[in-house]
């Protein structure tokens, strides 16, 4: 697998020079009317690489502007000169007249421009939508009716039988959080699978799969005790690839779930 | 170890050198740790005859794959199924440069040669791990390496070591002092060429390959005069336009078609044939720009041992678009097939199929999947895959098994003539393969796409598999969680040693796959185990993380 690579564009300075000499917007291609066809994680990675080579001088290495960068922060999900992917495509390729934003030029291939769009979209934490519910109400539900704290910890409060949610808004989009509440088995991290161990004399111990390797595994049981087992000793084991979390499809109303999702989405690391 | 009184080496040195200088008076003899092997670490020149008959001196590990047939089988049997559970740590060697440690050390008469990241070699006492000398190869800052700054080992002829370097040189180093004797540029690293594999000694030649399949190189295999470093022959792994097989590449795509040779091959002295695997065609995931079979990428080549002229080739994956390098060690073994002894070559390929070939002619004898694969219906009577439609990388991603990393990879397999089984590190994975347009720029990454694994690694299955080369069937498997990037060693103690990314080093019963011993050493493994003996004691060594560990039985020592 390759892990490194260099830019495939004309160097930035050359583009700037060409744009200055020609002094006119390059011809538009049909690509700007289409949907972005390059949206995989591969394209995010390639787009980031292209961004760091082409755009980071002004917009910062992580597109957040600031420090010595002169270009605006591109991570907010809002762009002054574009309100769609096609608009972003046009700005990246053609630049913005009468500003220091120089486009890549008409020679830039569509694929690369789209990959830059994909990268910028990947930085937007609100890409999955903005909350309609009340985070304050969701907070009440979290500790109250939802009984989430009987498994989850937030800022040191709660239990240990589910993921710590103190920064869940950083890693899950709003739509994912809403799905998690009604379909907890859709995407279960192996860390939260259950290991069921059966030992001598009919003993059975179940617990969350904290870690597993070729010869051993370690779990947290329902009493939050840490327990370690050998795979080749007296115990047999079974791996249950499902979540221990209940679905809230019946026990909470849609409005309550929206409130809860809004609360979870608000849980972020410090900016 | 005999616990009788031993003369300290310090005392010997002082007696020999010091008496006339009065040194004995200021440095009285110190009671040294008693060792029956004191003074034994003196190697005699490793002749070509010794290399041909390396299996007959199993206390030494004289080349990357142990022997010219690359079976990675040792006749040592002091450590066996009955006592392997008593293995204990004897010593450890820390590798100072942190990167993937992929080395297989050599041991020659009590001296061990360990290569280190990025392109260094250190000689240590094989009983204690303490150093004699080290050679640190100077490297430029702008190397082109796809997959880590690593080196897999040296080769030896006479008293000279030969090593590949990341700046695409081959160097000759004096085995007693670590002095550089000659250095030869093989290719220009700025064009994407690099070297990571141990060379193979063939008579008086240093045969050595090249890496760079992700940089649009044109692959080759070279031979250098061991004494002078003069290049004797170069065989391109992509034929030039004067050869009919060049037409297996559309247009000029052959010029940047990859097909590197980044793992060590094998040699059959009776047939005088060098066998070498070739890597992926480039760009890896966009085959549209290189229509055709793309010969001789993803193949095994059989070359004349004196001239490098091709005797035959067998292409495992014509027109590969999944990065399935045929960079596996060619395992040579004579096996019974339909009542006939065949000079065979055993090959578990990155593409998910196991093959038994006739190594004299390249004839396909049998083959079948040894790991999960979804890209082919099977192999036809000539061993050519019957490809399924819609398995090529695409703009939106195409789900295919094996993943790009393969059903196996460069991790050395082993073959035990005692069990008749081949032991392979196998992985049942899958990946989404994406194809992208990409222009070639010299020295830049040139892959034409990428891959991603849709699920966490825990969803997939990994194992050491024992394959019967007479049928291609799997006799047993030992499951690994989550996976392994280690090679395998087989011994006459009927043991199979290997390791895994979770940091275990372990021994299995070669007949059944039952785990007999394991130890958690804490770091991921990217190397191969090897075994040797000094003073009648067998050791087994494995590099885990950035430390080489050596184990042995308690015994008297």
The pLDDT value given to residue B406: 97
The pLDDT value given to residue B378: 98
pLDDT at residue B429 is higher than 80 = yes
Q: In B, which residues are within 8 Å of A43 by CB distance?
A: 434, 436
Level-2 CATH architecture, domain B35-552: 8 Propeller (2.140)
Distance CA B73, CA B348 (A): 17
The pLDDT value given to residue B16: 39
User: Whats the size of chain B, residue-wise?
Assistant: 557
pLDDT at residue B45 is higher than 50 = yes
Range in A23-27, B178-182, B226-230 the model is least confident about: A23-27
> Tens digits of per-residue pLDDT, B257-273?
999 999 999 999 999 99
- All CATH 1.10.760.10 domain ranges of chain A, comma separated, are 12-122, 135-186+245-266
Spans of all domains in chain B: 1-34, 35-552
For residue A233, what is the nearest residue in chain B, using CA coordinates?
Answer: B515
* Residue B312 near residue B245, CB atoms below 8 Å: no
What strand order describes the sheet that includes A216-221?
A226-230, A216-221, A204-212, A194-198, A236-240
> Tens digits of per-residue pLDDT, A78-118?
888 988 899 999 999 999 988 888 899 888 889 999 999 99
Q: Which of residues 32-91 of A touch B (CB under 8 A)?
A: 37-38, 40-43, 45-46
The pLDDT value given to residue A72: 87
Distance CA B383, CA B370 (A): 15
Average pLDDT, chain A: 85
pLDDT at residue B5 is higher than 70 = no
Q: List, in order, residues 6 or more apart from B3 with CB less than 8 Å away.
A: B34, B556
The pLDDT value given to residue B291: 98
Average pLDDT, chain B: 93
From 1.10.760.10, 2.60.40.10, 1.10.10.10, 3.90.1580.10, which CATH number describes the A135-186+245-266 domain? Answer: 1.10.760.10
* Residue B76 near residue B492, CB atoms below 8 Å: yes
Q: Is there a contact between B502 and A213 if contact means CB atoms under 8 Å apart?
A: yes
- All CATH 2.30.30 domain ranges of chain A, comma separated, are 190-240
Q: Is there a contact between A2 and B504 if contact means CB atoms under 8 Å apart?
A: no
Q: How far apart are the first and last CA of chain B?
A: 4
Nearest CA to B208 out of B164, B255, B143 is that of B164
Distance CA B195, CA B169 (A): 7
pLDDT at residue B14 is higher than 70 = no
The pLDDT value given to residue B39: 64
> Tens digits of per-residue pLDDT, B484-497?
999 999 999 999 99
For the segment B79-95, the average pLDDT, to the nearest whole number, is 97
The pLDDT value given to residue A11: 39
pLDDT at residue B33 is higher than 80 = no
For the segment B395-402, the average pLDDT, to the nearest whole number, is 96
The pLDDT value given to residue B348: 98
Q: Is there a contact between B458 and A190 if contact means CB atoms under 8 Å apart?
A: yes
ipTM of the complex: 0.86
Cα B428 to Cα A141, A195, B466, B504: the distances in Å are 43, 22, 15, 20
Q: Does A200 touch chain B (CB under 8 A)?
A: no
Instruction: Find tokens 């007949």 and name the residue.
Output: B511
Query: What string of DSSP letters covers B356-409?
Result: EEETTT--EEEEEESS---SEEEE-TTS-EEEPTT-S-BSS-EEESS-TT-SS-
pLDDT at residue B13 is higher than 60 = no
DSSP letter assigned to residue B194: B
Q: In B, which residues are within 8 Å of A233 by CB distance?
A: none
Q: Is there a contact between A40 and B437 if contact means CB atoms under 8 Å apart?
A: no
Q: Verify cis geometry, omega within 30 degrees of 0, for the bond prior to B102.
A: no
In the CATH hierarchy, which fold is given to the domain comprising A12-122? Answer: Cytochrome Bc1 Complex; Chain D, domain 2 (1.10.760)
The pLDDT value given to residue A59: 87
Range in A47-56, B151-160, B492-501 the model is least confident about: A47-56
Q: Nearest by CB to A232, which of B397, B452, B515?
A: B515
The pLDDT value given to residue B487: 98
> Tens digits of per-residue pLDDT, B277-310?
999 999 999 999 999 999 999 999 999 999 999 9
> Tens digits of per-residue pLDDT, B499-524?
999 999 999 999 999 999 999 999 99
For the segment B9-24, the average pLDDT, to the nearest whole number, is 40
The pLDDT value given to residue A68: 59
The pLDDT value given to residue A42: 86
pLDDT band for position B145 (cuts 50, 70, 90): confident
Nearest CA to B257 out of B54, B485, B535, B446 is that of B446
**B554 catalytically annotated:** no
The B-side interface with A (CB below 8 A) comprises: 144-147, 214, 284, 323, 395-397, 404-405, 432, 434, 436-439, 441, 443-445, 447, 449-452, 456, 458-459, 479-482, 500, 502-504, 506, 515, 518, 520
Strands B376-379, B385-387: pairing kind: antiparallel
In the CATH hierarchy, which fold is given to the domain comprising A190-240? Answer: SH3 type barrels. (2.30.30)
pLDDT at residue A4 is higher than 90 = no
The pLDDT value given to residue A62: 83
Handedness of CA B421, B422, B425, B431 (dihedral sign): negative
Handedness of CA B294, B439, B195, B543 (dihedral sign): negative
The pLDDT value given to residue B25: 44
Tell me the shortest Cα–Cα distance from B60 to chain A, in angstroms. Answer: 31
* Residue B405 near residue B440, CB atoms below 8 Å: no
């Amino acid at each position: 697998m390759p892990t490194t690579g260099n830019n495939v564009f004309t160097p930035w300075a050359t583009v700037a020079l060409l744009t200055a000499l020609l002094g006119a917007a390059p011809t538009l291609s049909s690509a700007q009317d289409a949907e972005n066809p390059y949206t995989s994680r591969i394209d995010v990675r390639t787009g980031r690489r292209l961004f760091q080579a082409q755009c980071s001088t002004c917009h910062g290495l992580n597109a957040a502007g600031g420090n010595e960068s002169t270009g605006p922060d591109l991570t907010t999900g809002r762009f002054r000169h574009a309100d769609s992917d096609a608009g972003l495509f046009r700005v990246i390729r053609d630049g913005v007249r009468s500003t220091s934003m120089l486009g890549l030029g008409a020679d830039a291939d569509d694929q690369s421009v789209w990959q830059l769009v994909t990268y910028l979209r990947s930085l937007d934490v609100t890409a999955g939508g903005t909350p309609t519910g009340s985070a304050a109400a969701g907070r009440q539900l979290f500790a109250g009716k939802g009984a989430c704290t009987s498994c989850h910890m937030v800022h040191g409060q709660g239990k240990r039988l589910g993921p710590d949610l103190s920064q869940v808004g950083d890693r899950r989009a709003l739509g994912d959080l809403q799905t998690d509440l009604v379909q907890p088995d859709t995407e279960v991290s192996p860390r939260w699978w259950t290991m069921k161990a059966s030992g001598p004399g009919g003993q059975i111990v179940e617990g969350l799969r904290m870690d597993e390797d070729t010869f051993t595994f370690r779990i947290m049981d329902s009493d939050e005790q840490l327990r370690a087992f050998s795979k080749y000793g007296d115990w047999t084991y079974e791996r249950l690839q499902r979540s221990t979390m209940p679905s809230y499809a019946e026990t909470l109303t849609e409005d309550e779930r929206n409130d809860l999702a809004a609360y979870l989405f608000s849980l972020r690391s410090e900016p | 170890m005999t616990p009788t009184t031993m003369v300290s080496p310090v005392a010997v040195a002082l007696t020999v050198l010091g008496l006339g200088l009065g040194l004995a008076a200021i440095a009285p003899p110190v009671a040294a740790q008693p060792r029956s092997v004191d003074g034994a670490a003196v190697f005699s020149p490793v002749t070509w005859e010794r290399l041909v008959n390396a299996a007959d001196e199993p206390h030494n590990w004289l080349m990357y794959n142990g022997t010219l047939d690359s079976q990675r089988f040792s006749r040592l049997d002091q450590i066996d199924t009955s006592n392997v559970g008593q293995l204990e740590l004897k010593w450890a060697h820390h590798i100072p440069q942190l990167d993937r440690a992929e080395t297989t050390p050599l041991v020659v008469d009590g001296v061990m040669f360990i290569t280190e990241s990025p392109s260094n070699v250190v000689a240590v006492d094989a009983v204690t791990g303490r150093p004699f000398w080290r050679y640190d190869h100077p490297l430029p800052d702008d190397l082109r390496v796809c997959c880590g700054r690593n080196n897999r080992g040296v080769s030896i002829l006479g008293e000279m070591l030969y090593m590949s370097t990341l700046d695409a040189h081959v160097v000759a180093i004096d085995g007693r002092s670590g002095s550089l004797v000659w250095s030869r540029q093989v290719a220009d690293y700025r064009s994407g060429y690099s070297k990571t594999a141990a060379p193979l000694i063939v008579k008086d030649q240093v045969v050595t390959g090249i890496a760079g399949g992700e940089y649009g190189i044109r692959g080759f295999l070279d031979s250098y005069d061991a004494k002078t470093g003069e290049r004797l022959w170069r065989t391109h792994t992509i034929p030039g336009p004067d050869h009919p097989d060049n037409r297996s590449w559309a247009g000029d795509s052959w010029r940047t078609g990859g097909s590197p040779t980044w793992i060590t091959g094998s040699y059959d002295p009776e047939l005088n044939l060098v066998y070498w695997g070739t890597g992926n065609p480039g760009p890896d995931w966009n085959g549209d720009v290189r229509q055709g079979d793309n010969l001789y990428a993803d193949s095994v080549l059989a070359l004349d041992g004196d001239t490098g002229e091709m005797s035959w080739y067998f292409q495992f994956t014509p027109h590969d678009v999944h990065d399935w390098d045929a960079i596996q060690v060619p395992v040579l073994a004579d096996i019974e097939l339909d009542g006939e002894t065949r000079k065979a070559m055993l090959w578990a390929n990155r593409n998910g199929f196991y093959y038994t070939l006739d190594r004299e002619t390249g004839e396909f004898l049998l083959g079948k999947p040894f790991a999960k694969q979804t890209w082919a219906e099977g192999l036809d009577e000539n061993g050519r895959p019957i490809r399924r439609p819609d398995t090529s990388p695409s703009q939106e991603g195409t789900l295919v098994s094996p993943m790009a990393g393969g059903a196996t990879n460069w991790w050395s397999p082993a073959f035990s003539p005692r069990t008749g089984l081949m032991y392979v590190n196998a992985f049942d994975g899958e990946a989404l393969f994406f194809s992208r347009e990409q222009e070639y720029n010299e020295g830049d990454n040139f892959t034409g796409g990428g891959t991603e694994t849709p699920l966490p690694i825990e969803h997939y299955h990994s194992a050491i598999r024992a394959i019967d080369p007479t049928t291609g069937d799997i006799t047993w498997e030992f499951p690994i969680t989550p996976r392994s990037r280690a090679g395998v060693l087989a011994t006459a103690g009927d043991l199979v040693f290997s390791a895994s990314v979770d940091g275990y080093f372990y021994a299995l019963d070669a007949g059944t796959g039952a785990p007999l011993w394991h130890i958690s050493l804490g770091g991921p493994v990217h190397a191969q185990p090897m075994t040797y003996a000094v003073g009648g004691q067998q050791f087994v060594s494995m590099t885990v993380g950035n430390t080489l560990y050596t184990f042995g039985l308690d015994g008297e020592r």
